[in-house]
Amino acid sequence: MRAEIVSVGTELLLGQIVNTNAQYLSRGLAELGIDVYYQTVVGDNMDRLLETIRLARTRADLLVFTGGLGPTMDDLTRDAVAAYLGRGLTVHEPTMKKLEDMFSSRGGAWIESNRRQALLVEGATPLRNATGLAIGNALTADGTHYVLLPGPPREMKPMFDNEASEWLRGLLGPSAVLHSVMMRFAGIGESALEDSLIDLIREQTDPTIAPYAKEGEVIIRVSTKAADAGEAARKLEPTLAEIRRRTERYLYAEEDIPVEEAVLRLLVGHGRTLALAESCTGGMAAEMITALPGSSEAFLGGVVSYTNGVKRGILGVPEALLEGAGAAGAVSAETAAAMAEGVREAAGADFGVSVTGVAGPSESEGKPVGLVYLGLAERGRPTRTEKLQLSGDREGIRIRASKRLYYMLWLALTGRQ
How confident is the model over 190-242, as pLDDT tens digits? 999 999 999 999 998 899 998 888 889 999 999 998 888 899 999 999 999 99
pLDDT tens digits, 169-189: 999 877 677 889 999 999 999
pLDDT tens digits, 150-169: 999 999 999 999 999 999 99
Percent of the chain with pLDDT over 70: 99
- What pLDDT was estimated at residue 4? 98
Instruction: Show me where the domains of the chain are located.
Output: 2-172, 177-253, 259-413
Gap between the Cα atoms of 288 and 401, Å rounded = 12
For the domain made up of 2-172, give the CATH fold: Molybdenum Cofactor Biosythetic Enzyme; Chain A (3.40.980)
CATH of 177-253, one of 3.30.1360.40, 3.30.70.2860, 3.40.50.720, 3.30.499.10: 3.30.70.2860
Compute the Cα dihedral for 379, 400, 15, 148 and give only its sign: negative
> 361: cis peptide before it, omega within 30°?
yes
pLDDT tens digits, 283-324: 999 999 999 999 999 999 999 999 999 999 999 999 999 998
How remote is the C-alpha of 244 from its chain's centroid?
23
- Residue 58: partners with Cβ closer than 8 Å, 6 or more residues away: none
Q: What is the CATH number of domain 259-413?
A: 3.90.950.20
CB 65 within 8 A of CB 81: yes
Gap between the Cα atoms of 414 and 248, Å rounded = 11
Gap between the Cα atoms of 182 and 255, Å rounded = 5
CB 196 within 8 A of CB 246: yes
Strand pairing partners for 364?
367
Gap between the Cα atoms of 412 and 214, Å rounded = 23
3-state secondary structure of 409: helix
- What pLDDT was estimated at residue 104? 82
- Residue 278: partners with Cβ closer than 8 Å, 6 or more residues away: 284, 285, 286, 302, 303, 304, 305, 354, 355
Output DSSP code: residue 293: T
